[in-house]
Amino acid sequence: MAAQAQAQSIEVPTDAELLQAQADLWRHSLYYLSSMGLRCAVQLEIPTAIHRLGGVTSLPDLMSALSLPSCKLPFLHRLMHVLVTSGVFAADTDSESGVELYRLTPLSRILVEGVDAEEHHSQKYFVLGVTSPHCTEAALGLADWFKKDLEPPVPSPFEDMHGVPIFDERTALLDKDFDAVTNQGLAAHDNLGIATILRECGDLFMGLESLTDCCGGDGTTARAIVKAYPHIKCTVLDLPKVIDKVPTDGVITYVAGDLFHSIPSSQAMMLKLVLHFWSDEDCVRILTHCRKAIPPRDEGGKLIIIDIVVGPSLGPVMFEAQLLMDMLMMVNTRGGQRDENDWRKIFIKAGFTDYKIMKKLGARCVIEVYP
Ligand SMILES: C[S@@+](CC[C@H](N)C(=O)[O-])C[C@H]1O[C@@H](n2cnc3c(N)ncnc32)[C@H](O)[C@@H]1O
């Protein structure tokens, strides 16, 4: 009776709390419009247009660069207002003419297409992939997925809804274009920031004789490492469908295989942006294979992991970004982002004795793990 009476009563917020709560509710319920506004900007290629206009533009010039009908000018103004508020673009007013000018920010600069610079990897397809109908539909099915009692290994909401996993041989059967967009998005996402890692983490590679980049894709990371540290003998392991398309370059040894079966031996193993895709059980299997393919710690044997370590120490913005990346994994894959405790448990289960978080790089960390 007491519990029922309690359930029927509710603490009423103060007036100030109520008004704040309503505004917060608007923001949290409508953040999808912020994502869709970003998707729209990418689809219209606004970042590239501003870049081609010299990095700064008025709204009418932007309209004509995008070839949009003039009736849409007030609507583009409203879209740009939201995108400026969320930091995608910057705006200021020209002191002489009073005209409002839009500029690129670091965020929109990484969305510019068609720039041939070594450190530039346009993130256009990352945005288009994560905001795609297939991914947003999977997220819309989250509550139904939670209620289903599914046999382990539990399929992701994406797999449960669409009948095929993402980043799989079968994904193209669901939608060829979606598969292509997500693969391009993944490559762009993974290649962003290699130069930063090399600049910030020289200690990782100094004195290293050999390195296997497990799941190293087309070898972009390995080539950058060998360019900076030519003494390192670098091997890239990836699936045959990936390795078969990589032209031999005489610098990197490319091995087609499966990291669940055999990993080429080296002094160090690198797993960059790989483990968050896999379940804890799969990570233990992968890391056990890695441990067997490296020498003992006193001979320089080590594992280099570059991935997110979820935690609030980097501040609320990075923490939110990490948690959203975890939700992205939960909705679309069987993996997830991990906190330090989760990582430690996996290292110990795979037979490693110690680890050190070497460096924090944005929302990610570089971890050395020792046999
Ligand atoms: C997220 S990407 C890795 C990114 C890469 N390490 C980088 O930082 O650029 C995942 C890669 O794992 C590869 N992969 C997936 N399953 C694999 C397996 N069982 N064995 C080897 N490679 C695999 C994929 O082909 C893909 O290239």
Question: Residue 347 is part of a domain; what is its CATH number?
Answer: 3.40.50.150
Same domain, 362 and 213: yes
Tokens of 245: 């398309």
Question: 302: CA distance to ligand 1 center in Å?
Answer: 20
Give the residue-averaged pLDDT of 327-342: 97
Phi, psi of 90 (to 5 degrees): -115, 155
pLDDT at residue 331, as a whole number: 98
Same domain, 153 and 267: no
Query: What DSSP string runs through 168-205?
Result: STTHHHH-HHHHHHHHHHHHHHHHTTHHHHHHH-HHHH
Cα–Cα nearest to 132, from 176, 72, 181, 77? 181
- Establish if 13 belongs to a structural domain: no
Same domain, 27 and 106: yes
pLDDT at residue 127, as a whole number: 98
Q: What sections of 219-350 are H helices per DSSP? A: 220-228, 240-243, 280-292, 316-332, 340-349
Helix/strand/coil (H/E/C) assignment for every residue in 16-71: HHHHHHHHHHHHHHHHHHHHHHHHHHHHHCHHHHHHHCCCEEEHHHHHHHHCCCHH
Instruction: Say if ligand 1 is within 6 A of residue 289 CB.
Output: no
| Residue to substitute in 190, 215, 271 for testing ligand 1 pocket (most ligand atoms within 8 angstroms of CB) | 215
Same domain, 140 and 213: no
- Binned at pLDDT 50, 70 and 90, residue 330 comes out as very high
Residue bearing the CA closest to ligand 1, atom 18: 258
- Establish if 206 belongs to a structural domain: yes
Q: How far is CA 330 from the centre of its chain?
A: 13
Residues 348 and 341: their CA atoms lie apart, in Å, by: 11
pLDDT, tens only, 143-173: 999 999 999 999 999 999 999 999 999 999 9
Tokens of 77: 């103004």
Residues 20 and 83: their CA atoms lie apart, in Å, by: 23
Res 184 pLDDT > 60: yes
- Establish if 165 belongs to a structural domain: yes
Res 203 pLDDT > 90: no
- Establish if 204 belongs to a structural domain: yes
pLDDT at residue 5, as a whole number: 65
Share of the chain above pLDDT 90, in %: 88
Same domain, 282 and 207: yes
Q: How far is CA 226 from the centre of its chain?
A: 24
Share of the chain above pLDDT 70, in %: 99
Neighbours of 155 (CB within 10 A): 19
pLDDT at residue 326, as a whole number: 98
- Establish if 73 belongs to a structural domain: yes
Average pLDDT, the chain: 95
CA-277 nearest atom, ligand 1: 1
Q: What's 61's domain CATH number?
A: 1.10.10.10
pLDDT at residue 1, as a whole number: 56
Last residue of a domain, one of 114, 147, 170: 114
- Establish if 232 belongs to a structural domain: yes
Instruction: Say if ligand 1 is within 6 A of residue 190 CB.
Output: yes
pLDDT at residue 156, as a whole number: 97
- Establish if 16 belongs to a structural domain: no
Q: Quick check: is 81 catalytic?
A: no
> Distances in Å between the alpha carbon of 134 and those of 58, 175, 250, 254, 297?
35, 9, 40, 33, 45
* Cβ–Cβ < 8 Å for 204, 224: no
Instruction: Say if ligand 1 is within 6 A of residue 216 CB.
Output: yes
Same domain, 266 and 310: yes
pLDDT at residue 201, as a whole number: 87
Residue bearing the CA closest to ligand 1, atom 13: 215
pLDDT, tens only, 47-60: 999 999 999 999 99
pLDDT at residue 119, as a whole number: 84
Q: Which of 121, 134, 162, 276 is catalytic?
A: 276
Same domain, 201 and 223: yes
Last residue of a domain, one of 88, 114, 140: 114
In DSSP terms, which residues pair with 84 in a beta bridge? Answer: none
- Binned at pLDDT 50, 70 and 90, residue 95 comes out as very high
Give the residue-averaged pLDDT of 275-304: 96
Same domain, 222 and 363: yes
pLDDT, tens only, 238-250: 999 899 999 988 8
Question: 216: CA distance to ligand 1 center in Å?
Answer: 6
- Bigger pLDDT: 243 vs 203: 243
Bond preceding residue 165 cis, omega within 30 of 0: no
Res 2 pLDDT > 70: no
Structural domain of 99: 22-114
Same domain, 173 and 205: no
> Distances in Å between the alpha carbon of 258 and those of 98, 261, 318?
61, 5, 33
Same domain, 212 and 293: yes
Same domain, 272 and 340: yes
CA-217 nearest atom, ligand 1: 27
Res 3 pLDDT > 90: no
Same domain, 328 and 197: yes
- Establish if 188 belongs to a structural domain: no
Tokens of 86: 């969320």
pLDDT, tens only, 106-144: 999 999 999 988 788 999 999 999 999 999 999 999 999
Residues 196 and 92: their CA atoms lie apart, in Å, by: 30
Task: Say how many domains are in the chain.
Answer: 3
